[in-house]
Structure 1
Amino acid sequence: MNVTINGCRLNVEVFGPEDGHVLIAHHGGGGIGSLAEPRATFGPVADRFRVIVFDARGCGLSEGIPPYSHEQWAADVDAIREWAGAEKVVVAGGSYGGFIALEYAVAYPEHVSAIILRDTSADGSNLALAFENARMQDRVEIDWDNFNRYWGGEIRDDADLKACWAELIPLYDFEYDAEKSAARVEAGIYRHESHNWCFQQNWPIYDVKPALPSIAVPTLVTVGRKDWVTPVSASETIARLIPDAELVVFEKSGHSPQVEEAEEFQRVLRSFLDRAVPAPEVIR
């Protein structure tokens, strides 16, 4: 459905019982992400939770009205919370969506009941590690001009973003499957304006580490052992700084344990939610 949030038309999908505790999941990818990933990841818990997924402004099928800043994207999450009529929500995000989940938890702590993070970072320092990992790998030959333009936010148009992403995607999985990766590239929706904003304007100032010790809700931090772009060390930093955080490393995953070890990921997710947001007791 189309919902106008802070003056911008967003593509929103809602699943689960109307009286369920609300879980809002933010997709990753900046200008290459959409609600498809969080829908697949969190759809299974819609048997108990009211799951809300959406294309962020400037992404997927949503309207492109800048700014595409972390502050604006977090404000949009809070407006979705208000639209849903929820006082408190579980906020979730993977990869770039994890940045927004953390920004939301820091800016709107009174509205957060729990946090779920997947393969993300609390600042931009992981990019130096990612560059080193890219140099050390032998899975694919990297076009360094395209690589640097991608991470520097110097993409020319949507077709250029798609082409650069197609070159990078072999790095992301624990076991590379060319056919599956090609299908993922074709299924994507590419929005170069928001992508460029992410890496020109957001990345240089992103650092929530000083605020993480103030987070006072249960937090699940998950990461794939072979994640090249947001390595395990980035998740370890988050888990160390948030007082009530638990870290789960998926040993046979790259950047997407929710796909590569889907059954175990769902078990971990549901176990955490059952402890962090217990189901209300039924009075007989």
Structure 2
Amino acid sequence: MSRRVTVNGVELVYEDGGQGTAIVTLHGGPGMGSRAGDWAAFQPLTDSYRLVSYDQRGNGESGAGEPYSHAQFVSDLEALRVELKLGKIVVLGGSYGGFLALEYALAHQEHVHAVILRDTAASNRFQGTSMDRAMSSGFPMDQERLERLFAGKVASDDEFRESFAMIQPLYTVERDPAAEAERLARIPFRYETHNWAFSRNQPDYDLTGRLHEIGVPVLVTVGREDWITPLEASEELAAGLPNNEFVVFEHSGHSPHIEERERYLGVVRDFLARHVPAPAPARRRTRSFSRSRRRNAPSAPGPSSSTCRRARTRPCCSTTSSSSTLPASRSTRPSGLSPC
């Protein structure tokens, strides 16, 4: 059941489940994103961690209230962390939510265990190539409408919906028109939030010169076929972050957490197991296990090896399906997942 909390004068709607170290998800798609996709995708992690997914101000079911600046979104997240008594957190941001995850880590690194980035960027420099990809995709595109969308000059929620319907086929490697139609019907479009983000926030967004300041472990993930935050954007992130692990999902577009879901969750679990405090162990039923037997007991096997695992201080690799020990098969998309 969703919950509500008021922070910085705006009511935020959120989901909260599980126990242990808190993972807070930041959805993308300002003006059309919501907590629903992240909550559906990452809910399996509640077996070991606390998961909090919320609609940012001006998004989903949360209240409106300018400014929709990065500074305000970061302030809201910090206020939410304090209000929910989350302590030190893992920040998981996808797409535009990755921008905010980076901004939060720079502003409040003392409250961050680790950062997980999915298909995002440290700057706005790849927007032109994204538009080129859209126009050369073979799908019907209205260049004028596309330019208004990227410039944050959308005139109404209806225009926003029609514009997203036009580009929606670009987001995944394998199309599912029925799923696209279902998703389009569910999205709560709020064009004012989108316009603020793309006309005011995006033009000056560039954190490349500050990435070296983020010292906590960062998992950088991207789908090789991502059209809007392309592989080069994640390569730029990996080149600038001093303590990162870089994983490329070969059979995905913008949403590897959906398109290669089981493998994506496996990569995330492996990263968390190595960088985040483990959940409290269950209480022992007996104290008769002797000290000498503890010394002689075989050590528990660690997580299976990965080509990325040891390169924690440099951008390490592109992990492909064939080289990973994690399953690479495409899983069925659970209800509620959306590539945003």
When normalised by structure 1's length, the TM-score is 0.96
**Counterpart in 1 of 2:222?**
223
Cα distance between partner residues in 2 of 1:42 and 1:69? 26
Cα distance between partner residues in 2 of 1:101 and 1:12? 17
Cα distance between partner residues in 1 of 2:93 and 2:279? 25
**Counterpart in 2 of 1:212?**
211
**Counterpart in 1 of 2:12?**
10
Equivalent positions of 1:89-168 (< 5 A) are 89-138=89-138, 140-168=139-167
Contact 2:74 2:100 in 1 (8 A): yes
Cα distance between partner residues in 2 of 1:130 and 1:28? 16
TM-superposed CA distance for 1:43, in Å, is 1.0
Cα distance between partner residues in 1 of 2:239 and 2:262? 26
Cα distance between partner residues in 2 of 1:92 and 1:182? 27
TM-superposed CA distance for 1:86, in Å, is 2.7
TM-superposed CA distance for 1:204, in Å, is 0.9
**Counterpart in 1 of 2:180?**
181
Residue aligned with 1:30, SS: coil
Residue aligned with 1:279, SS: coil
Aligned amino acid, residue 227 of structure 1 = D
Aligned amino acid, residue 195 of structure 2 = N
Instruction: Provide structure 1 residue ranges, at least 5 long, that are not aligned to the other structure.
Output: none
Cα distance between partner residues in 1 of 2:76 and 2:249? 31
Q: Give percent identity, aligned residues only.
A: 44
Aligned amino acid, residue 43 of structure 1 = Q
Cα distance between partner residues in 2 of 1:80 and 1:42? 19
After superposition, what is the alpha-carbon deviation per residue over 1:89-115, rounded to whole angstroms, capped at 9, x for unaligned?
101110010010011001111111100
Contact 2:98 2:117 in 1 (8 A): yes
After superposition, what is the alpha-carbon deviation per residue over 1:59-114, rounded to whole angstroms, capped at 9, x for unaligned?
00000001000110011111111012133110111001001001100111111110
Aligned amino acid, residue 35 of structure 2 = L
**Counterpart in 2 of 1:86?**
86
Contact 2:134 2:167 in 1 (8 A): no
Cα distance between partner residues in 1 of 2:26 and 2:236? 21
Cα distance between partner residues in 2 of 1:149 and 1:136? 18
CA change 1:2–1:89 in 2 (3 A) is same
Cα distance between partner residues in 2 of 1:184 and 1:168? 13
**Counterpart in 2 of 1:274?**
273
Cα distance between partner residues in 2 of 1:107 and 1:205? 17
**Counterpart in 2 of 1:234?**
233
Contact 2:119 2:255 in 1 (8 A): yes
TM-superposed CA distance for 1:189, in Å, is 0.9
Aligned amino acid, residue 219 of structure 2 = L
Aligned CA-pair RMSD: 1.1
**Counterpart in 2 of 1:46?**
46
Instruction: Provide structure 2 residue ranges, at least 5 long, that are not aligned to the other structure.
Output: 285-340
Residue aligned with 2:31, SS: helix
TM-superposed CA distance for 1:162, in Å, is 0.8
TM-superposed CA distance for 1:179, in Å, is 1.6
Aligned amino acid, residue 152 of structure 1 = A
Tell me whether 1:30 sits opposite 2:30 in the alignment: yes
Residue aligned with 1:147, SS: helix
Number of aligned residue pairs = 281
TM-superposed CA distance for 1:136, in Å, is 2.4
Tell me whether 1:257 sits opposite 2:280 in the alignment: no
Residue aligned with 1:86, SS: coil
TM-superposed CA distance for 1:12, in Å, is 1.2
Cα distance between partner residues in 2 of 1:273 and 1:161? 37
CA change 1:176–1:78 in 2 (3 A) is same
**Structure 1: which 4+ aligned runs deviate by more than 6 Å?**
none
Tell me whether 1:58 sits opposite 2:58 in the alignment: yes
TM-superposed CA distance for 1:129, in Å, is 1.5
Aligned amino acid, residue 270 of structure 1 = R
Aligned amino acid, residue 59 of structure 1 = N
TM-superposed CA distance for 1:281, in Å, is 6.1
